[in-house]
Chain A
């Protein structure tokens, strides 16, 4: 499958812990976007990387960080987790630096207990 892949699909952890979510973009796509979807909040844009560089920042908490590696995969690190961080985290990719058409992964569902 050459689409956007995200791991893990599901993750359950405790408050105060740290987790890493991973995303591999579509082959050839240079941009990676992270979105958070929590109950009643819709899709909240967190951060975008283009060819390894941070390009745009949204409502990303200081406890969260991300990076894009030379092979273009990206990781989203969530630390000092709180109950409110429970959400579905989506990764999307696009061919260029502008969004144009975004291709989404299936999401990683994080549950913080």
Chain B
């Protein structure tokens, strides 16, 4: 069955430290993966998708099919990065399956 696992509920880092939010998936086909973010008092919104291979707000994510992972990384965290982050898997071109989310807290 398709599944997305985000092992950390909470990740706390200091400003300027590197960030890695972990995401592992289970999918038999060729996966299409996304990271969504929800800032305080804002709607859940797309941060990036693996097929675009771009960096958004300094974040990047590389699909590793061997390890079935799609970790989100940023070299230097900023306080404004504090938010809830969800990893999501495209379920055969229909709906997205989301992980349970990781809260990132960046403090100065």
Contacts and interface: CB of A to CB of B under 8 A. Distances in A.
A104 B43 contact: yes
Interface in A74-108: 90, 92, 97-99, 101-106
Contacts of A42: 86, 98-101
B46 A102 contact: yes
A7 B60 CA distance: 35
Interface string A35-67: 100001111010010000001101000000000
A97 B91 CA distance: 12
Contacts, number: 52
Contact of A33 (B43, B49, B95, B101): B95
Interface residues of B, number: 18
B86 A58 contact: no
A106 B39 CA distance: 12
Number of contact residues on A: which range applies?
A: 20 to 34
Interface in B18-54: 36, 43-46, 49
A18 to B, nearest CB: 25
Nearest to A40: B100
B62 interface: no
B43 A58 contact: no
A56 B95 CA distance: 7
A63 B90 CA distance: 26
B95 A106 contact: no
A43 B49 CA distance: 18
B32 to A, nearest CB: 9
Interface of A: 3-4, 33, 35, 40-43, 45, 48, 55-56, 58, 90, 92, 97-99, 101-106
5 contacts: A33-B96, A35-B98, A99-B94, A104-B45, A105-B43
Closest 7 CB pairs of A and B: A42-B100, A56-B94, A43-B98, A104-B44, A98-B93, A45-B95, A99-B96
